[in-house]
Each structure stands twice: as structure tokens, then as C-alpha cells.
């Protein structure tokens, strides 16, 4: 969209009449005293022992790009996010009429995140849009914790975030950084709850009309959201979750069978998730036809991760050629049958030569999936914020398991954080050697520091452009089968550059090993002692500071699990069988653990592969009792975006004439299936 303002945006979705009572005050207030700014040298209550040495990144050197105080403040916030998730999962769901079966624990969180995303949109529309100045947030402008979680997850996608800032939300560019220290100063060290100031509490309610309290309980057929009809723009009040209708379908907004008729008697248009997505796409197409400077989502960012307006407009114009002679949003949406699958078909047909051997429009069809994925949600942003927030919750749970986010954990000894800081700068150094087309896969400790740095979007862009020549993207969803390969490649480049091993134990207090057959929780496996690494000539940390004896939890990243594809299933079965045999042999003392005493090359590859061998239960029925949409981003399965079908979780499409069932995009770290999704 046009970057000159937000006037072209559709009206924000608003909370319905059944929102929680805004008059209920929290039990106590936080102090309104301002802590130092993010990145300050002195922060009360924090050990600020940050290495003062220069780090080598490529051909340049730099002082630390993140401080130990930054990391500790961030860990406190992540602990609050984890406590919020636990509180949500423990909350009782009130269904007075008992029309639905009890909602299982795992399904409460994605429903909560859907509502948090809506509250984030409300905050941007009502609070951020009203800010004339370009400065950090004032204390009273800081939103509730659920809104902060969505914003935090948004910032961890720096390419998409900046594209959205340029195209649609220039007001977000007024915020140079996430107010990390102001927020951490409001977190109770005993309960990990965020305590608002009285002014902050009332400012939120006055400007948004919504309750500051968290919507932990979504009541079926009661709690609502206001959504404009895609056909006539009449505002409809729609329940988040509904009981089965006369046909047994679950038609609430957060349910994947969502469908309601427009309340306007003269319209009665069937409102669906797909119709809302198609309306958003059609609006952007018409805007780009009328405004020669506008671009479609997914086209603006160049290979360096910076906006490339000329290329973006050129790509946009090629796409616009697939929709000739359209005059209005409704006309275009109707010609597309209000279907994103029709959009996909139209685009692929447009870029296929009509006559064998003839030239097709000069367009890289590999860009089509990213454009389609950018319109896979009806909300005004180029990625699925709920999916990103869910992936962030996996990361916070991993840190919680390792006790990193426990308040006071590093008060006496910050060495693990210093090591993580060292390794992060080593990671940046290695990234200068890696390919921009093959992303580096971070270890858990490196990812922690990386996340911390991304909370300052302006500084992050400037630093990575300076050292790498591009904005370093952060891809936190890796396709099954690619995770171990990409991690192994990252480890190879690391070892060549840093002269030491990539996978190291980041546990502050190493727990007892857990059986590899465990279905949940972090799993650990022991790596035998190898020869000490040579003295590194370019390493960013002394070799003796790295414990190479234990290679646990190499990566926290989620992995997409493909169900219904026999080839993928056979590969999965072979991996599982191989590691089962290894476990038996090692137990009997007759074999070598593939992550242990095997030859070094085999051990490293197997170790990386084992890191991602975390699969979900085969059954998703327990999580599907309310028919909730899965928080899954189609970007995660771009490798399956083929022919005329955009592959959406929970929808069977034809891929190379073979039906592929993508009903489970799951976290390999915790084996959580989030139910069905799709259009």
C-alpha cells in the first residue's frame, strides 16, 4: 500500500459488546518511575558486566551489539510471557450452556493469541496512530502484556516488519525500539506478572474502549469481535467461538469452519476467512492500479532486506497484468469468486506461456508463494502474527525448561550469558561467509541474543547492513527434513571459521538425561569427549570457555511436520528406526551413539539430525474439539506451494497430481499439534 498514511486501511476490528468489564481494577499498581533507556550502560538491579573487547565480524570489528543487561531484562520479559501462557492454559473456560465439550489445555493458547492479535491492531489504531512524535513510548502508552507479546513476535520477523512499516504502518516507524526496560521494571519478580501503573491502566481503557485485563476466558456464543462485511462493509458483531449450528458446523471467527451471514438484510453475504483475505488482496490490487507508487505485499523487499521500490513496483505491475480491466474492489473479488485459491490459479496461469515455447511475462514464479502467503490472513500485515507468537511461545518454553528465565538466575554468575553474547557475535561473523539463500540455523543461546538485538529494529537493520551487506532475516520455521541439513551446514561453516564446535550445552545447571522416547519436554543426549579444539585464530571467544562435552538442544526452532506424504513418512520412519537401534546398542554397550562416539563427521551430522527428531502425536482430535484454526504460517511450507494450490494447514490440495494432507505443522520441540486450519 501507499506509504504516505493509513487512510486506505479498512476499519480496525474492534472488541465486541461482551468484552471483560473495564471497571475492574488490578489489585496493585506498579511505580511509574522511568528506568534507563534500552541499551543504557547502568541499569539498577542488573549486573551490567558486558565484555568491553572488540568482536570480529567479517572484515570489521565492533563493540558488543547487545549488553548483558539487555539480555537479562529480555529474559525477565520472556519469563512473564511463559507465565502468561501457563496462566492461560490453567484458566477455566466458562461455557454456561455446555454446548461444546471441554476445551483442552493446548487449544486455549492459540485462541488467546487470536484475541491478542486483535488487541494489538486496536492499540496501533487507537494509540500509535495518535502519536505525533517520533520517540519511545511513554509509560502510559505501553499496552497490556498480550499486546506486547504480539509486537515482540512481529519484531522477530525483521524483513516483514519493515515491509509493513513502509507499505502500511509508517506510524510504527515512530517507535525506534521495544521499551524493554520500562516493561521489565513493571514485572513482579515473585509472580512474573506485569503490573500496570494507574495512569497506564486508565489510559488504555480511555483510548481503546477495551479492558486492560487479559482475555483469558473466551465464552462460546458470547465474546465477540466486530468485522466489516467484505461485500457491503456493514459492521457485523461475530462470536469468537460458537456452538455447532444445525448442520453441526462450528462457525465462530476463531474456528476454521468460520462462516456467518452479513447482518444487513439487504446483503446477507456469506462472510468467511477466505472472503476476508480475498477482499484484502482485491483492495491492494485496486490501490496499486490507482497509485503508481504502491506495491503489493511480498514484492517490496529486495535481496538485501531493504525496500527496493523500483523492483517492487515492477513485480507489482507484472502481477496486475493478471487482473485486466477491473474497476472496483467488489468487481475484482467477485471475479475471483471470493477465493484465494482462484487468486493462486490466476497468477500461475498468467505466468505460464500460453503457447509451448513462447515467452511468459518476465517474472520469477518463486515469488508467487510469498505474495500469496502475505495475503493468507485478512489482517493488514504481510505475515501471520498469531503463528509468529505461537512460535515465540515455543522459544520461551524452552528457556523456561532450562531455567534461563527464572528471576535472579544470573545475578551471581553471568558467564553463560557472556558466552552466549560471544557466540552470537561469532554467529554474525559466520553469517558473513554464509549464503543469503541458505539461512544460518542458530543454537538456543545464540537465538536468545539475536532476539534481543531485533527488539531495536532501526539499530538491527543498520548493524546487519553494515556488517553483512544485508538485513539478516530470522526464519523461525523450518521445513521437516531441512532442519538438520541447514543446521549441519551452519555447523560446518562455524567450525571452519571459529575453530570450535557449534553445538554446546547452554544449560545453566545441566539436568539429568531424559529418555529419547519421551513425548514432551526437552530431550538431552550425551556427547563423548572429543579432542580439544585448536586455538582459534578468528574466534570471538576463548576455546576453553566452550563446553564441547555436551551437545544438547542445538536449536529451538520449530519444524513443519508433513502428514499424508508417503515419501516424507518413509524418511521419518527410517530416522526413527535408526535411532531406536542405536539406543539399544548403546544401552547394551555394543554400539556407538550416533551423537557420541561415532566417527566425528558421522557424529556431527547425526547429532544435528537428532536435534529435530521431535514429532507430534498422530491424533489431533483432542485439540480439534472446538474446531479452532491452527496458528500456522504458510511461509513455513513454501516448498509445497506448487501448481494452482496454495497449501494451507488442514486443507488437502493437489500437488503434482498427488493429494497432500498438511494437517499437522507442529513443534518438534514439544510435539504440540494445534489442530486444523485453512480456508
- Helices 68-90 and 105-126: angle between axes, nearest 10 degrees: 120
What is the reported pLDDT for 175?
82
- Contact, 357 vs 619, CB < 8 A? no
What is the reported pLDDT for 80?
97
What is the reported pLDDT for 569?
62
The whole-angstrom separation of Cα 446 and Cα 429 is: 12
Residue 535: helix, strand or coil by DSSP? coil
The whole-angstrom separation of Cα 596 and Cα 603 is: 6
Contacts for 500 with CB less than 8 Å, ≥ 6 apart: 494, 533, 536, 539, 543, 546, 548
Helix (H) or strand (E) holding 165: helix 158-167
Contacts for 315 with CB less than 8 Å, ≥ 6 apart: 295, 296, 299, 363, 367
**Cα angle, residue 486 at apex, residues 423 and 654 outer, rounded to 5°:** 145
What is the reported pLDDT for 8?
38
What is the reported pLDDT for 500?
80
- Alpha-helical regions (H) of 294-408: 309-320, 329-335, 340-350, 368-374, 385-401
pTM: 0.77
- Write out the three cell numbers for 158: 525483521
Contacts for 355 with CB less than 8 Å, ≥ 6 apart: none
**Cα angle, residue 198 at apex, residues 196 and 202 outer, rounded to 5°:** 100
Q: CA 652 → CA 149, 376, 506, 602, 604, distances in Å?
A: 32, 16, 40, 37, 36
The whole-angstrom separation of Cα 138 and Cα 132 is: 13
- Contact, 551 vs 564, CB < 8 A? no
Backbone torsion region of residue 529, taken as left when φ is above 0, otherwise alpha when ψ lies between -120 and 50, otherwise beta: beta
What is the reported pLDDT for 100?
73
Q: CA 518 → CA 5, 296, 353, distances in Å?
A: 52, 45, 52
Compute CA 436 distance to the chain's CA centroid, rounded to the nearest angstrom.
Answer: 20
Q: CA 103 → CA 106, 107, 114, 257, 378, distances in Å?
A: 8, 7, 16, 17, 26
- Alpha-helical regions (H) of 185-257: 198-208
Beta 558-560 vs 477-479: how paired, if at all? parallel
What is the reported pLDDT for 516?
31
> Which residue, among 2, 339, 347, has the nearest Cα to 167 in the 3D structure?
2
Contacts for 484 with CB less than 8 Å, ≥ 6 apart: 605, 608, 609, 610, 611, 612
Beta 55-57 vs 60-62: how paired, if at all? antiparallel
Q: Consecutive sets of 10 residues in the chain, 679 residues long: mean pLDDT of each? A: 42 44 48 48 45 86 93 96 94 71 79 94 91 81 97 95 91 86 94 94 95 88 91 95 85 90 97 96 96 92 90 93 92 95 90 59 70 89 87 88 88 89 92 70 90 96 94 74 68 81 56 32 30 39 42 47 54 62 58 41 42 32 57 42 28 26 25 26
What is the reported pLDDT for 501?
77
- Phi/psi for 228 (5° steps) reads -70, 140
- Contact, 155 vs 454, CB < 8 A? yes
Q: Rg of the Cα trace of the chain?
A: 25
Residue 332: helix, strand or coil by DSSP? helix
What is the reported pLDDT for 280?
97
The whole-angstrom separation of Cα 588 and Cα 590 is: 5
- Contact, 15 vs 226, CB < 8 A? yes
- Write out the three cell numbers for 129: 496512530
The whole-angstrom separation of Cα 486 and Cα 484 is: 6
- Contact, 388 vs 154, CB < 8 A? yes
Cβ count within 10 A of residue 519: 11
Compute CA 368 distance to the chain's CA centroid, rounded to the nearest angstrom.
Answer: 21
| Furthest C-alpha separation in the chain | 78
The whole-angstrom separation of Cα 676 and Cα 361 is: 36
- Write out the three cell numbers for 81: 510471557
- Phi/psi for 495 (5° steps) reads -65, -35
Amino acid at each position: 500500500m501507499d506509504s504516505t498514511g493509513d487512510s486506505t486501511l479498512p476499519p480496525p476490528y474492534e472488541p465486541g459488546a461482551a468484552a471483560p468489564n473495564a471497571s475492574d481494577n488490578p489489585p496493585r499498581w506498579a511505580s511509574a518511575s522511568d528506568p534507563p533507556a534500552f541499551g543504557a550502560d547502568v541499569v539498577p538491579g542488573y549486573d551490567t558486566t558486558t565484555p568491553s573487547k572488540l568482536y570480529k565480524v567479517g572484515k570489521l570489528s565492533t563493540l558488543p551489539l547487545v549488553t548483558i543487561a539487555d539480555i537479562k531484562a529480555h529474559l525477565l520479559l520472556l519469563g512473564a510471557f511463559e507465565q502468561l501462557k501457563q496462566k492461560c492454559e490453567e484458566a477455566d473456560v466458562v461455557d454456561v450452556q455446555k454446548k461444546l465439550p471441554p476445551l483442552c489445555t493446548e487449544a486455549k493458547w492459540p485462541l488467546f493469541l487470536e484475541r491478542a492479535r486483535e488487541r494489538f491492531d486496536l492499540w496501533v489504531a487507537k494509540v500509535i496512530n495518535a502519536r505525533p512524535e517520533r520517540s519511545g513510548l511513554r509509560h502510559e502508552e505501553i499496552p497490556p502484556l498480550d499486546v506486547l507479546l504480539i509486537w515482540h513476535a512481529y519484531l522477530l520477523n525483521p524483513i516483514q516488519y519493515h515491509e509493513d512499516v513502509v507499505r502500511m504502518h509508517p506510524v510504527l516507524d515512530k517507535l525506534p525500539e521495544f521499551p524493554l526496560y520500562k516493561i521489565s521494571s513493571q514485572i513482579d519478580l515473585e509472580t512474573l506478572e506485569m503490573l500496570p501503573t494507574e495512569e497506564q491502566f486508565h489510559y488504555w481503557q480511555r483510548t481503546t474502549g477495551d479492558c486492560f485485563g487479559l482475555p483469558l476466558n473466551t465464552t462460546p456464543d458470547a465474546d465477540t469481535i466486530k468485522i466489516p462485511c467484505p461485500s457491503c462493509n456493514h459492521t457485523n458483531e461475530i462470536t469468537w467461538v460458537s456452538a455447532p449450528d444445525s448442520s453441526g458446523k462450528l462457525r465462530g471467527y476463531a474456528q476454521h469452519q468460520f462462516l456467518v451471514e452479513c447482518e444487513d438484510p439487504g446483503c446477507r453475504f456469506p462472510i468467511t476467512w477466505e472472503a476476508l483475505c480475498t477482499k484484502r488482496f482485491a483492495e491492494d490490487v485496486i490501490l496499486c492500479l490507482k497509485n503508481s507508487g504502491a506495491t503489493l505485499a511480498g514484492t517490496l523487499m529486495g535481496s538485501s532486506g531493504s525496500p527496493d521500490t523500483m523492483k517492487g513496483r515492477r513485480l507489482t505491475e507484472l502481477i496486475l497484468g493478471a487482473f485486466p480491466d477491473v474497476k472496483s474492489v467488489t468487481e475484482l473479488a467477485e471475479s475471483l469468486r471470493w477465493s484465494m485459491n482462484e487468486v493462486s490459479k490466476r497468477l500461475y496461469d498468467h505466468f505460464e506461456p500460453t503457447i509451448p515455447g513462447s515467452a511468459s511475462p518476465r517474472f520469477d514464479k518463486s515469488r508467487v508463494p510469498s505474495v500469496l502467503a502475505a495475503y493468507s490472513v485478512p489482517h493488514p500485515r504481510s505475515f501471520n502474527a498469531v503463528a509468529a507468537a505461537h512460535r515465540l511461545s515455543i522459544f520461551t518454553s524452552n528457556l523456561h525448561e532450562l531455567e534461563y528465565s527464572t528471576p535472579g538466575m544470573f545475578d551471581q554468575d553471568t558467564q553463560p550469558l557472556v558466552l552466549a553474547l560471544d557466540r552470537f557475535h561469532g554467529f554474525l561473523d559466520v553469517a558473513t561467509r554464509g549464503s543469503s539463500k541458505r539461512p544460518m540455523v542458530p543454537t538456543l543461546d545464540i537465538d536468545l541474543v539475536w532476539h534481543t538485538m531485533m527488539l531495536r529494529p532501526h539499530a538491527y537493520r543498520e548493524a546487519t547492513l553494515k556488517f553483512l551487506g544485508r538485513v539478516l532475516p530470522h526464519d523461525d520455521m523450518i521445513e521437516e527434513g531441512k532442519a538438520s541439513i541447514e543446521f549441519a551446514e551452519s555447523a560446518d561453516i562455524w567450525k571452519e571459521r571459529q575453530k570450535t564446535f557449534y553445538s554446546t550445552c547452554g544449560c545453566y545447571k545441566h539436568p539429568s538425561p531424559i529418555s529419547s522416547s519421551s513425548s514432551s519436554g526437552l530431550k538431552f543426549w550425551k556427547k563423548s569427549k572429543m579432542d580439544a579444539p585448536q586455538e582459534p585464530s578468528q574466534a570471538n571467544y576463548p576455546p576453553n570457555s566452550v563446553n564441547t562435552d555436551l551437545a544438547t538442544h542445538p536449536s529451538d526452532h520449530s519444524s513443519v511436520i508433513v502428514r499424508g506424504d508417503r515419501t516424507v513418512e518413509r524418511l521419518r520412519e527410517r530416522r526413527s528406526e535408526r535411532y531406536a537401534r542405536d539406543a539399544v546398542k548403546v544401552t547394551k554397550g555394543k554400539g556407538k551413539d550416533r551423537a557420541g562416539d561415532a566417527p566425528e563427521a558421522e557424529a556431527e551430522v547425526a547429532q544435528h539430525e537428532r536435534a529435530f527428531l521431535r514429532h507430534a502425536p498422530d491424533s489431533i482430535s483432542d485439540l480439534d474439539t472446538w474446531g479452532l484454526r491452527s496458528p500456522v504460517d504458510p511461509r513455513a511450507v513454501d516448498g509445497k506451494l506448487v501448481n494452482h494450490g496454495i497449501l494451507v494447514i488442514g486443507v488437502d490440495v493437489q500437488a503434482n497430481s498427488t493429494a497432500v494432507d498438511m494437517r499437522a505443522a507442529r513443534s518438534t520441540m514439544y510435539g504440540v499439534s494445534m489442530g486444523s486450519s485453512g480456508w
